[in-house]
Structure 1
Amino acid sequence: MSGSTFGSLFRVTNFGESHGPAIGCVIDGCPPGLELSQADIQTDLDRRRPGTSRHVTQRNEPDAVEILSGVYEGRTTGTPIALLIRNTDQRSKDYGNILDTFRPGHADYTYWRKYGLRDPRGGGRSSARLTAPMVAAGAVARKWLKAMHGTTFVGWMSQLGDVEIPFEDEAQIPLNPFFAPSAGVVERLESYMDDLRRAGDSVGAKLQVEARGMPVGLGAPLFDKLDADIAYAMMGINAVKGVEIGDGFGVVAQRGSEHGDALTPEGFDSNHAGGVLGGLSTGQDLRVSIAIKPTSSIRVPKPSINRAGEPTSVETFGRHDPCVGIRATPIAEAMLALVVIDHVLMHRAQCMDVELPVAPIAGLRPGA
């Protein structure tokens, strides 16, 4: 019940604290024979790591991953894969002023009430730094899914604060620090972030992530639906306060004549459902959106209390992101990949012998 392990057959146990000597994870259940090196994992970690632009925390962590076990002569052995990421740029003194107080919007108060003590350095276990091991595990999942099923993942920022970002050119996503699919909006986003940093404030964001080349039939009724597990995974990311599958809350204003995705011999003619029907994958792209709240650690003073219950004011110093959503795209991609690989392995275990006399829709493959 510790809440540090994710997945059923592809299980990832996350460990460490923001200012401890290291963070990492143990992956149990990765199929054997996958070619895997540290470089395969490092690429995704580099996309998430801090200090990559002036718009994110200037904590300078290389996030260099070490593979401690589970790989022999460049291939996974089927045994647990231990991944380690050393912390090298902690500044714990930045948190000395909040040792006895609670930052509004942060987990300081709830951790203290639950455990009777807390690690105030960078949020300890509640820090978004603990998403790095999940990105590392997600990189392993992504490589296996692409090799075995041709499944790929892509994410982007669709809104930063009140600035909506149009989807104009997917090729632009890796070319700017916002993962924005539009070159024309980047200058406005940079100016927006500069103003926030000067004001000592923060803002939220909306991200979208897709899984493409999906197998059909992943998921299970009633409570292990694919979309239910996606929502569970996304809500496990720090600062996520909302998850939408497909059109999400937009379905409220739709009519049934519009929302239902019609089937043809060539495939579905729309994807309002986001690639999931009845909790099972349709073979279409999985479409997921997440809402990320404003960063809680800000320089603007906010009223709070101390451990004695006395009123006080909290102003957070240190190095923080004006918008944690800027670095969250690789995290959302990783968590979606972890859900998909887990469901692929579960589908293979139960339904690998299922055969249909004819494929009802051209090009859509069963789950394993």
Structure 2
Amino acid sequence: MSSFGTLFRVSTYGESHCKSVGCIVEGCPPGLQLTEADVQVQLSRRRPGQSNLTTPRNEKDKVQIQSGTEFGVTLGTPIGMLVQNLDQRPHDYSDMDNFPRPSHADYTYLEKYGVKASSGGGRSSARETIGRVAAGAIAEKYLLEAYGVEIVAFVSSVGNISMPLKHACADVEDPESPITAEVLEFLQNVTREQVDATTVRCPDPSVSQKMADRIARARDNHDSIGGTVTCVIRNVPIGLGEPCFDKLEAKLAHAMLSIPATKSFEIGSGVEGCKVPGSKHNDSFYRKPNGKLGTKTNNSGGVQGGISNGENIYFTVGFKSPATIGKEQPTSRYDGTDGVLAAKGRHDPCVVPRAIPIVEAMAALVIMDATMIQQSRATARSLLPTAQ
């Protein structure tokens, strides 16, 4: 399906080299001040051609709001948004018509539909995420204005080069928790300005240049490299997420693993937390100055029992090395005969720097939808005489 969400619902359309891409957003509350400028900020962070570490495809990704607003205010009706594909080069892919690219979706799309887009991967291309980012910008604006929610993602690793966000639990009987107070403080304070200060979008100066050098080496070798993106969501209302099948972390995992090239999702202490005894991993409660309970630590990543507990939500998403590379690869043609493919076209040697606004957008869509669901529950309850 090309739709995501329940009450705040987003449907995206478009292929990599068609005339346009975009989305329709349903369920946006009326009365939100919204113009193209509010959406363009995130689209400009996602667009290609930002540095020599990304694809040189030259797209400005200028968004046009087609419906759902009047005089810069949302009407509560469906919001249509469109971005033109201006720098199409479908002929770049003509030599690849005979090959299913290794680890790409060419073969699976062909087997599923009996036909595939002749260029750029069609709907499997990351260009599809433009609609997600546009819709996420709307969700993020509402969440910030209504609840003060802040969402910041950043590159936490490229290849084997990583920010020191977790302490690897040593092979001892009682390892310490992998998430330190220093890491939690960093997640509380990191800003998008710090993230965008480097081309690789890593806010740690001690490793960001090493990451950039690693991406450049992959590019110069006509190869690619993967990495991870970590995201923190601050000021999240308590009570978001549904028991059992629609737990908040399950919805976040669904959202993140729907992004092209993703391969893993970890929330809170993640896999390292599985090596820690409960006495070291449990998040003890205390009473905050506002009267609410909080946790002294946050190994849970802000979610317990599938429901937000008011602490910062943080998670990490793993992105594989991009499949389309210029290096020659022995493989098979569609007809089963052996061949050698050296892909042409303009492609990212590493997707994680441009994935930052995509991860933020999908996080915003999940939190927005969960917030509206919880709002409807709270409103329905407040109307009962027993709730007065």
TM-score, with structure 2 as normaliser: 0.89
Out of 267, 270, 280, the position equivalent to 1:245 is: 267
Out of 82, 91, 105, the position equivalent to 2:80 is: 82
Count of equivalent residues: 353
In the alignment, the residues of structure 1 paired with residue 309 and residue 209 of structure 2 have an alpha-carbon distance, to the nearest angstrom, of 38
Retained in 1: the 8 A contact 2:161–2:207? Answer: no
Secondary structure (helix, strand or coil) at the match of 1:184 reads helix
In structure 2, what is the equivalent of residue 214 of structure 1?
Answer: 236
In the alignment, the residues of structure 1 paired with residue 209 and residue 298 of structure 2 have an alpha-carbon distance, to the nearest angstrom, of 32
186-195 or 326-335, which moves further after superposition? 186-195
Q: Does 1:69 align with 2:67?
A: yes
Retained in 1: the 8 A contact 2:199–2:212? Answer: no
135-144 or 244-253, which moves further after superposition? 244-253
Q: Deviations over 1:12-49 (max 9, x none)?
A: 00000000000000001101000000000000111111
Which residue type is aligned with residue 341 of structure 1? Answer: M
In structure 2, what is the equivalent of residue 332 of structure 1?
Answer: 359
Q: Deviations over 1:70-90 (max 9, x none)?
A: 001111000000000000001
In structure 2, what is the equivalent of residue 318 of structure 1?
Answer: 345
In the alignment, the residues of structure 2 paired with residue 186 and residue 204 of structure 1 have an alpha-carbon distance, to the nearest angstrom, of 15
In structure 2, what is the equivalent of residue 301 of structure 1?
Answer: 328
Out of 106, 109, 112, the position equivalent to 1:108 is: 106
Q: Does 1:264 align with 2:286?
A: yes
Q: CA deviation at 1:93?
A: 1.1
In structure 1, what is the equivalent of residue 311 of structure 2?
Answer: 284
In the alignment, the residues of structure 2 paired with residue 303 and residue 277 of structure 1 have an alpha-carbon distance, to the nearest angstrom, of 48
In the alignment, the residues of structure 2 paired with residue 239 and residue 81 of structure 1 have an alpha-carbon distance, to the nearest angstrom, of 28
In the alignment, the residues of structure 2 paired with residue 166 and residue 186 of structure 1 have an alpha-carbon distance, to the nearest angstrom, of 12
Retained in 1: the 8 A contact 2:136–2:362? Answer: yes
Secondary structure (helix, strand or coil) at the match of 1:223 reads helix
In the alignment, the residues of structure 1 paired with residue 333 and residue 213 of structure 2 have an alpha-carbon distance, to the nearest angstrom, of 36
Q: Deviations over 1:307-365 (max 9, x none)?
A: 2222222211111111011210110010000000000001111123658xxxxxxxxxx
Q: CA deviation at 1:166?
A: 4.4
* Identical columns (%): 42
Retained in 2: the 8 A contact 1:201–1:322? Answer: yes
Retained in 2: the 8 A contact 1:108–1:120? Answer: no
Which residue type is aligned with residue 288 of structure 1? Answer: F
345-354 or 121-130, which moves further after superposition? 345-354
Secondary structure (helix, strand or coil) at the match of 2:21 reads strand
Out of 156, 164, 177, the position equivalent to 2:199 is: 177
Spell out the pairing of 1:159-174 with structure 2 (5 A cutoff). 159-166=157-164, 170=191, 171-174=193-196
Spell out the pairing of 1:138-217 with structure 2 (5 A cutoff). 138-166=136-164, 170=191, 171-217=193-239
In structure 2, what is the equivalent of residue 364 of structure 1?
Answer: none
Out of 249, 254, 275, the position equivalent to 2:302 is: 275
In the alignment, the residues of structure 2 paired with residue 274 and residue 90 of structure 1 have an alpha-carbon distance, to the nearest angstrom, of 41
Uncovered stretches (5+) of structure 2, i.e. residues with no partner: 166-185, 289-293, 383-388
In structure 1, what is the equivalent of residue 182 of structure 2?
Answer: none
Uncovered stretches (5+) of structure 1, i.e. residues with no partner: 356-368
Q: Does 1:42 align with 2:45?
A: no
Secondary structure (helix, strand or coil) at the match of 1:142 reads helix
Q: Deviations over 1:178-224 (max 9, x none)?
A: 11112233332232222111101111011100110000000111101
In structure 2, what is the equivalent of residue 224 of structure 1?
Answer: 246
Q: Deviations over 1:76-134 (max 9, x none)?
A: 00000000000000111110111121000100000000011101311111101111110
In structure 2, what is the equivalent of residue 361 of structure 1?
Answer: none
In structure 2, what is the equivalent of residue 91 of structure 1?
Answer: 89
Q: CA deviation at 1:177?
A: 1.6
Retained in 2: the 8 A contact 1:5–1:14? Answer: yes
Retained in 1: the 8 A contact 2:157–2:211? Answer: no
Out of 52, 55, 58, the position equivalent to 2:53 is: 55
In structure 2, what is the equivalent of residue 236 of structure 1?
Answer: 258
Q: Deviations over 1:131-187 (max 9, x none)?
A: 111011000000000111111100111101111134776552121121111223333
52-61 or 115-124, which moves further after superposition? 115-124
Secondary structure (helix, strand or coil) at the match of 1:101 reads coil
Which residue type is aligned with residue 349 of structure 1? Answer: S
In the alignment, the residues of structure 1 paired with residue 380 and residue 148 of structure 2 have an alpha-carbon distance, to the nearest angstrom, of 21
Which residue type is aligned with residue 83 of structure 2? Answer: I
Which residue type is aligned with residue 184 of structure 1? Answer: S
Q: CA deviation at 1:229?
A: 0.5
In structure 2, what is the equivalent of residue 4 of structure 1?
Answer: 2
In the alignment, the residues of structure 1 paired with residue 148 and residue 210 of structure 2 have an alpha-carbon distance, to the nearest angstrom, of 36
In the alignment, the residues of structure 2 paired with residue 273 and residue 296 of structure 1 have an alpha-carbon distance, to the nearest angstrom, of 33
TM-score, with structure 1 as normaliser: 0.93
In the alignment, the residues of structure 2 paired with residue 277 and residue 187 of structure 1 have an alpha-carbon distance, to the nearest angstrom, of 37
In the alignment, the residues of structure 1 paired with residue 332 and residue 377 of structure 2 have an alpha-carbon distance, to the nearest angstrom, of 53
Superposed CA RMSD: 1.3
